[in-house]
């Protein structure tokens, strides 16, 4: 009789273990897919920037894509928060953000460059949902003409090459043509001179990567271009 009781206990324990293992496998299979990506940094004044990009509906796997929505929350060291919301255009680890104000109108685009889960550089003023703007403080990267000297290649269908020379001249090779002129670089502001016209660009250099952000209507649409040093 005792043996039968012990046997029944063991069978009950085995059944419980099987049920537990089965539940564990089911839980793993039903793990929710991530629906957003988050990037965080703190500026030199101690203000925290948190960018959350959320996928558009009806898409399964998630990496940030054009048309996704963003929420940028700035938590001030002195207290209080500031919010910017809108939509995203993506180029590798760079995001062109179009803010949407509470009154339904768009604010001026600005750009955020990320690395891993951190924010490295913010270009342009940030339009908040209430219509006010914030001038961000972020890492500048390597600045000045010396940071640009050399040849930089853009990995795209054009395979354009940007060359900055030590004598203050520049050249772009693309579509079988060359464009040439002079340049100046102060802080993160690059100015190209071409046929008497000045073209303002924001640039960011880190290591062997150069990001150029052309202003809308001046050679580009505000979407970052990524170049690699040759």
Lowest mean pLDDT among 3-17, 22-36, 173-187: 3-17
Q: Mean pLDDT across the stretch 23-43?
A: 66
Complete DSSP assignment for the chain: -HHHHHHHHHHHHHHHHHHHHHHHHHHHHTPPPP-EEEEEEE-TTS-EEEEEEEPPTT--S----TT-EEEEEEE-TTS-EEEEEEEEEEETTEEEEEEB-TTS-B---EEEEEETTEEEEEESPEEPTTS-EE-------B-SHHHH-EEEEE-SSS--EEEE-TTSEEEEEETTEEEEEEEEEETTEEEEEETTEEEEEEEEEETTEEEEEEPBTTTB-S--EEEEE-
Q: Which residue did the predictor score with more confidence, 168 or 29?
A: 168
0.75 surpassed by pTM: no
Residues 125 and 58 in one domain: yes
Residues 119 and 152 in one domain: no
Residues 56 and 113 in one domain: yes
**pLDDT of 59:** 67
Residues 129 and 151 in one domain: no
Boundaries of domain holding 159: 145-229
Whether 186 is covered by a domain: the verdict is: yes
**pLDDT of 157:** 65
**pLDDT of 22:** 41
Percentage of the chain beyond pLDDT 70 is 78
Whether 24 is covered by a domain: the verdict is: no
Residues 43 and 117 in one domain: yes
Residues 41 and 130 in one domain: yes
**pLDDT of 26:** 41
Q: Which residue shows structure tokens 């003409």?
A: 145
Whether 86 is covered by a domain: the verdict is: yes
Residue 230 predicted with pLDDT over 70: yes
Residues 127 and 51 in one domain: yes
Q: Which residue did the predictor score with more confidence, 164 or 57?
A: 164
Domain count, the chain: 2
Residue 48 predicted with pLDDT over 90: yes
Q: Mean pLDDT across the stretch 86-104?
A: 91
Lowest mean pLDDT among 114-123, 187-196, 216-225: 216-225
**pLDDT of 63:** 80
Three-state SS sequence of 9-38:
HHHHHHHHHHHHHHHHHHHHHCCCCCCEEE
Residues 129 and 159 in one domain: no
Percentage of the chain beyond pLDDT 90 is 40
Q: What is the CATH number of the domain that holds 180?
A: 2.40.128.640
Q: Mean pLDDT across the stretch 155-163?
A: 79
Q: Which of 134, 163, 195 is the endpoint of a domain?
A: 134
Q: Quick: pLDDT tens for 109-137.
A: 999 998 889 998 888 889 999 999 988 87
């Amino acid at each position: 009789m005792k043996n039968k009781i012990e046997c029944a206990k063991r069978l009950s324990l085995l059944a419980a273990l099987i049920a537990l293992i089965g539940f564990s496998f089911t839980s793993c299979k039903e793990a929710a897919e991530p629906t957003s990506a988050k990037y965080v940094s703190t500026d030199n004044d101690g203000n925290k920037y948190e960018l959350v990009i959320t996928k558009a509906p009806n898409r399964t796997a998630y990496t940030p894509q054009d048309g996704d929505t963003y929420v940028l929350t700035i938590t001030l060291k002195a207290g209080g928060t500031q919010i910017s919301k809108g939509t995203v255009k993506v180029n590798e680890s760079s995001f062109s953000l179009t803010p949407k104000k509470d009154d339904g109108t768009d604010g001026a685009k600005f750009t955020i460059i990320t690395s891993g889960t951190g924010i490295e550089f913010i270009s342009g003023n940030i339009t908040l949902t209430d219509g006010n703007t914030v001038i961000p403080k972020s890492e500048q990267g390597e600045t000045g003409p010396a940071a640009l000297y050399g040849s930089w290649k853009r990995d795209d269908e054009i395979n354009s090459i940007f060359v900055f020379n030590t004598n203050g001249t520049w050249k772009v090779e693309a579509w079988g043509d060359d464009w040439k002129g002079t340049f100046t670089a102060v802080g993160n502001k690059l100015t190209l001179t071409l046929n008497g016209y000045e073209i303002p660009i924001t640039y960011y250099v880190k290591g062997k990567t150069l990001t150029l952000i052309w202003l809308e209507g001046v050679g580009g649409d505000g979407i970052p271009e990524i170049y690699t040093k040759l």
